[in-house]
Amino acid sequence: MSDVTPTEMMTVAASRALTSKDVCFVGIGAPSAACNVARLTHAPDITLIYESGTIGTAPDVLPLSIGDGELCETAVTTVAVPEMFRYWLQGGRITVGFLGAAQIDKFGNINTTVIGDYHQPKVRLPGGGGAPEIASSCGEIYITLKQAKRAMVEKIDFFTSFGHGEGGDHRQRLGITTKGPTLLITDLAIWKPDPETKEFTVVSLHPGVTRDMVQETCGWEVKFADNLETTPAPSTTELMTLRDLQERTKRAHEGGKAA
C-alpha cells in the first residue's frame, strides 16, 4: 500500500468512524468523500443528509455543492431547508455532523469565514452556511482537514462554528447539551479531545508519520496519547472504492458519463 497518498489515508480513516446506524449531516469536500466511502463499504445503511434538504441521499459521484442535482436525484426524499434545520437538526435527530475547516484551534473551534481581520481580511472564505448550527445541534462532530500551520492555529481569526470554546466545560456552561467535536482526522493523524481539558490529543499516527511531522505542521504544542497507536492502512476494498468514486466524479464533472 506504499502508493497511498496522505489525502487517501485521511479519507479512509475518516470513513471508518461512521456506522450504518448513523444519521450524518455531511459537509461538502473531504467530509462528503469520507461519508460516501463509508456508505459504499462498511456502512451501507447510513443516512446521509445534506444542507439543501436531501435525506438518505446516495450519490454516484461527489457533489460540487449542496445544490448539486445528484443529491436530490438520489435522495429518499427532499425537504424544505427550514424543516431540515428546525425539525431534523435542531430536533436532535442527527447523530453526527461531519465538517471541514479552513482554520481550527486545539479545542475544535472552526473558522470558515475570513483569514485576518474581518473588516480587512487577507482572504474572505465561503462562510459558515449551516455549520454553526450543525456544530451545536448534532449529537457529535467529526472534523477533517489537511495539516498545516496556517490551518491549525493557536487562535482562530474568526469564530464560525463553536467547538469546545475555551476548553473544559465551556459548552455546558453555555447551555449546549451536545458532545461537540469528538474526532479530528487529518492527513497525518487521528486526534481526540482530552476528557477533561477538551484539547485535541493525537491518539493514532498514520503509517510512516512521525511525531515531528505532526508537530511541524501544527500551530500549537501537540500532545500525544500515552498509548499512541498506528492507523491501519487502507484495505484494497477501501482504497479502490475511494479511487473509483473519485474517477467517476472527475469524469462527470468534466462532462463525461459517470458509469
User: How distant, in Å, are the alpha carbons of 5, 41, 58, 103, 222 from that of 161?
Assistant: 29, 30, 27, 11, 22
Residues 6+ apart with CB under 8 A from 140: 95, 96, 97, 178, 179, 180, 181, 182, 183
From the list 8, 51, 133, 238, the catalytic residue is 51
Locate the DSSP E strands across the chain.
Answer: 23-26, 47-49, 54-55, 77-78, 96-99, 103-104, 110-111, 114-116, 121-124, 140-145, 181-186, 189-193, 200-205, 224-230
Per the annotation, the verdict on 51 as an active-site residue is yes
Cβ atoms of 53 and 81 closer than 8 Å: yes
Active site residues: 51
